[in-house]
Amino acid sequence: MFPVRLEGTTAPTLMWAEEWTIEQAALQQLRNMADLPWVHGVRVMPDVHVGKGATVGSVIAMREAVAPAAVGVDIGCGMTAVRTDVTASDLPDSLRSMRSRIERAVPVGFAMHERAVNVGALDVADAGGVKKGWHRFWQDFGDLHSGVQPRESKAMKQIGTLGGGNHFIEVCLSDADEVWLMLHSGSRNIGKELAERHIAVARALPHNQRLVDRDLAVFLAGSKEMDAYRHDLTWAQEYAARNRAVMLTLVMQAFRQALPGRPVRFDEPISCHHNYVSEEVIDGEPMLVTRKGAIRAGRGDLGLIPGSMGTGSYVVRGLGSELSFNSASHGAGRTMSRTKAKKRFTVDDLVRQTSGVESRKDAGVIDEIPGAYKDIEQVIEAQADLVEVVAHLRQVVCVKG
């Protein structure tokens, strides 16, 4: 059944979702992007929905150009998960204490650590290959956009913190009752500031003045503006990966402490970005590929596709679909805005829809209610030619900001 073609676009646009299921605003964003002269092709994932500047759930291959809005402001946002040797029978009857331990270990929302985490004294999980090189990483901060230089101390204190919105930390059970730890976060405030500053630069460039949508302003290869953006983008993507690695380590420690007397072993973590840029060969040509709300799903690539806070998640393995630019969805995808969700649902709805999950059940997270998201089972089914399921996970603990 999939993909289907979005008609009326200059660059070929293939979708793993029916056109009638996508908001008109998102379809217009996709058409605007596909009509840019630098775009080779657009691929649309089944979790597609309207986004700020560019569509969430889009994969865009460009020649000699990149649109920072097609990456998003949470540069490097992504997922990390690890399987433990603990089973459901090892868990205590009440998981409230476990959730409290995790919340004490990892600041959420706008909170940050009182001082930067001493990674030298912490056996940081090698999630995404970022276990070493911390000194050099922070040395490079001085080469970032001048506007973020006063933010170094804050950026250091936000390493190992969750943030808010749809970011989460979860304890999950597989269908075989294996316990997994999973988290979703990105580059925190420093990534947002870098993205917004570079988007403002792009919007002011002469070649972007006649665009139908200035939010889709691009940088061109060989320009100093492109070089500066790619430099800062690469740093922010690494910051996001390091943030998740430190956070996972803190969660692993809290999990161990919640099971006194029970030694816990962890597998190698799985980690993947879903807001990023990479250099790839598409249809035989070198391209800059942006994935905003999409993961790489090359043959054999392990990935993570979460649902909402009460509906489970999936560990997947990519099938290497060249038609999709080796991509898959990053999650379930929203069906309504946060504002609409807050108006439509009540705390009672939240309690009912998150039954069986140890989590916040108050007005502050109503916008994250499962009813505001697409059916994760249907999203996975729609991309059966893109990924195969390795494990299905269901939440028993969910921490949100």
| Binding-site residue set for Mn(2+) | 74, 167, 184, 274
* Cα distances (Å, whole numbers) of residue 323 to 39, 44, 328, 331: 16, 11, 11, 20
List residues bridging with 398 in a β-sheet: 170, 359
Residue 297 identity (one-letter amino acid)? A
Give the Cα separation of 163 and 267 in Å (integer).
Answer: 26
Residue pair 220/64 in contact by the 8 Å Cβ criterion? yes
- Number of alpha carbons in the 13 Å side-chain half-sphere of residue 197: 18
**Looking at residue 255, what DSSP letter applies?**
H
Give the Cα separation of 370 and 355 in Å (integer).
Answer: 11
Q: Which two tokens stand for residue 69?
A: 């809005």
Query: What secondary structure does DSSP assign to 97-123, as a single string?
Result: HHHHHHHHHS--TT---SS---GGGS-
Known binding-site residues for GMP equal 166-170, 274-275, 306-309, 313, 330-333, 400
Give the Cα separation of 75 and 190 in Å (integer).
Answer: 9
H/E segment holding residue 341: helix 338-344
Q: Is 330 a catalytic residue?
A: yes
Give the Cα separation of 345 and 383 in Å (integer).
Answer: 29
Give the Cα separation of 266 and 252 in Å (integer).
Answer: 9
Whether cis (ω within 30° of 0) applies to the bond prior to 286 is no
Closest CA to 179 of 95, 63, 294: 95
Residue pair 57/45 in contact by the 8 Å Cβ criterion? yes
Give the Cα separation of 82 and 165 in Å (integer).
Answer: 22
Among 40, 198, 330, 392, the one annotated catalytic? 330
Residue 65 identity (one-letter amino acid)? A
Active site residues: 330
